[in-house]
Amino acid sequence: MFYSPVITNASEAAKSDKLHLFRYVEDPDQVKVATYEQHGGYKAWRKALTGMSPEQVAETVKNAGLRGRGGAGFPTGLKWGFVPKNSPKPRYLVCNADESEPGTCKDRVLMERDPHAVIEGMAIAAYAIGCHVMFIYIRGEFNHSIDRMEAAMREAYAAGHLGKNLYGTGYDLEMIVHTGGGAYICGEETALLNSLEGERGMSRMRPPFPAIEGLYACPTIVNNVETLATVPHIINHGAEWYRKLGTEKSAGTKIFSLSGHVKRPGNYEVELGFNLKKFIYDPAFGNGIIGDKKLKGVIPGGASTPFLTPDMIDVGLDYESLTVKGSMLGSGAVIVFHEQTCIVWVLLKLIHFFHHESCGKCTPCREGTAWLEQIIHRIEAGEGHPGDIEAMDEVCSNILGRTICPLGDAAVMPIQSAIRLYRDEWQYHIDNHRCLVDTRFEFK
C-alpha cells in the first residue's frame, strides 16, 4: 500500500536503461530491505566501502557531473571536496529532506517508496567525506516519509548496512532521523543546521560555509534527498554512464513534479534537457491543459523561480537552457497556469507564502515580503493605486541580493518576472479594479 497516491512514470523507467530513480517506486515491497536488495540495493554501498577509497567515491561522483537537486544545482562531488582533509573535528552528513518549496513533491515519493535508496546514498556520501554520524532532516508534516524512513533505517541496521564494523571493514556509521518543526526556511541548509542543533531555524551568515563549520561547528555536508538517491546508481554504473545521460553540462536524470492546470499532474523522471513543451502536452506526461485551454505561463522550478510565457516553453529542462530564458531549474517543480488564471491572484498566493515563511532575521526579507503582500493584496482586492507596480518593483529590487539567505530572492524573483511579463494585466487590475481575464471556470 502506498500512503499517498501520485502518478509516476515508473513503468517507463522500468523499461528504460537510463531512468533509474523511479524504476521500482510502484513496487509496494520496495520499501523492504529484502526486496531492495533483490533489486540490486546496497550493492553500491558494499562496493564503495569494501572496494573504493573515500577519494575514489568523491571523484566518481564528481566525474559523473551530478549537480545538487535541491535547487541550487551545485556540483555534488565538488561540494564534498570542500571538507577539510586534516580537521580533527568529526564530520557530519545531513540529508536535507525538508521539502517545502510550493509545487515540489519529488523527495517525498523517494522517501515513501524507495527509502533504502536514500539511506544507501547517504551512507556512500558519508563514507566519501569520512563521516560516522549522519542525519536526515525530514519536514515535520511528512508523517508518512518519517514512518517509512525510520522503518527503513531500522531494517538497514538489522541487515547490517548501518551500525558498527560494516561489512567487516571496521567502518562505523550511525544514522539519526530528525523531524523538522514546520518551517520552509529550514530547507535552507544553514537554517536547517540551526534547527538540528535545537536553535531557532534562522539562516546563518556565510562564510563560514557548512563544509568548514556546519553542524556543531564541525565540517558538514548538506545534500538533497534526490541527489543522494542518485549516488548509488553512479557507483554501480560508473561516472561515464551517468555523464552520458542528459545534456553535456546538466548530466543525468531528474524528477520533475508537474502540477497546476494539466490533465495529468504527477512526478516524472526524465533526462535533463527534456523539452518543456513536450513535458506539458505529451500524453505520457502532462497530457495538455485541463479543459484544453490555452497556456498562460509556467513556473518551471518551484515557486521561487521566474515565469515562462507560452512563447518561451520550447526549451530544454536543464540548468543552462532555463537560465537563458531568464528562469531557473530550481527544484524541478513545473507549475502550469492556463489562460483564465489571474496573475495577480497567483502572485498573492506566492507572496503570502513567502511572507509567512520569512524567518524574521534580516530586515529586507522580514519587512519587504510583508509589504509586498499588502500591496498585491490591495491590487487583487481592486484597490490598487497608481504607482503600486513601480513601488513593488522597487521593493523587490531592495530585497533581491540583499538578504542573508536565498528566501528573499525566491520571494521577489517570480514577482519581478510577473511584472515584466504580464505588466498590462497588473495595470488593468489597478485601473479597472478587477481581473483582466475571466476567472470563472468549470471543471469538466
Whether 220 contacts 211, CB under 8 Å: yes
CB within 8 Å of 21: residues ≥ 6 apart: 13, 110, 114, 117, 226, 229, 230, 233, 253, 255, 269
Cell numbers given for 249: 553540462
- With contact defined as beta carbons under 8 Å apart, do 116 and 31 qualify? yes
CB of 357 to other proteins, least distance (A): 7
Is residue 357 a contact point for other proteins (CB under 8 A)? Answer: yes
Pick the stretch among 145-153, 300-308, 333-341, 364-372 that binds other proteins (CB under 8 A).
364-372
374 touches other proteins by CB under 8 A = yes
* Residue 401 CB-density burial (10 A; 0-12 exposed, 13-18 middle, 19+ buried): exposed
Residue 353 binding other proteins, by CB under 8 A: no
d(CA 303, CA 410): 8
C-alpha cell at 168: 567487516
Residues within window 46-85 making contact with other proteins, judged by CB under 8 A: none
Residue 352 contacts other proteins per CB under 8 A: no
403 binds other proteins (CB under 8 A): yes
Helix (H, G, I), strand (E, B) or coil at 133: strand
b/e map of 373-387 (b: 16 or more CB within 10 Å)? bebbbebbeeebeee
Give the alpha-carbon dihedral of 110, 167, 128, 214, to 10 degrees.
80
Residue 294 touches other proteins, criterion: CB under 8 A = no
Q: Considering beta carbons, is residue 231 or 351 the nearer one to other proteins?
A: 351
- Which listed residue (22, 274, 337, 371) binds other proteins by CB under 8 A? 371
Q: Which stretch binds other proteins (CB under 8 A): 186-194, 257-265, 340-348, 351-359?
A: 351-359
**CA pair distance 268, 7, nearest whole angstrom:** 8
**Is 363 an interacting residue with respect to other proteins (CB under 8 A)?**
yes
Of 226 and 357, CB closest to other proteins: 357
Binding footprint of other proteins, residue count (CB under 8 A): 29
For other proteins, the binding residue among 303, 347, 404, 412 (CB under 8 A) is 404
Closest CB to other proteins among residues 242, 371: 371
Q: Which stretch binds other proteins (CB under 8 A): 3-11, 223-231, 237-245, 365-373?
A: 365-373
Exposed, middle or buried: residue 93 (CB in 10 Å: 0-12, 13-18, 19+)? Answer: buried
Site for other proteins in 175-204 (CB under 8 A): 183, 185, 200
Decide if 253 contacts 406 (C-beta within 8 A): no
227 touches 93 (CB < 8 A): no
- Please say which residue, 94 or 376, places its beta carbon nearer to other proteins: 376
Q: Is 370 in the site for other proteins (CB under 8 A)?
A: yes
Interface residues for other proteins in 380-399 (CB under 8 A)?
385, 391, 398
Residue with Cβ nearer other proteins (110 or 392): 392
* Contacting residues toward other proteins, per CB under 8 A: 88, 183, 185, 200, 205, 355-364, 366-371, 374, 385, 391, 398, 401-404
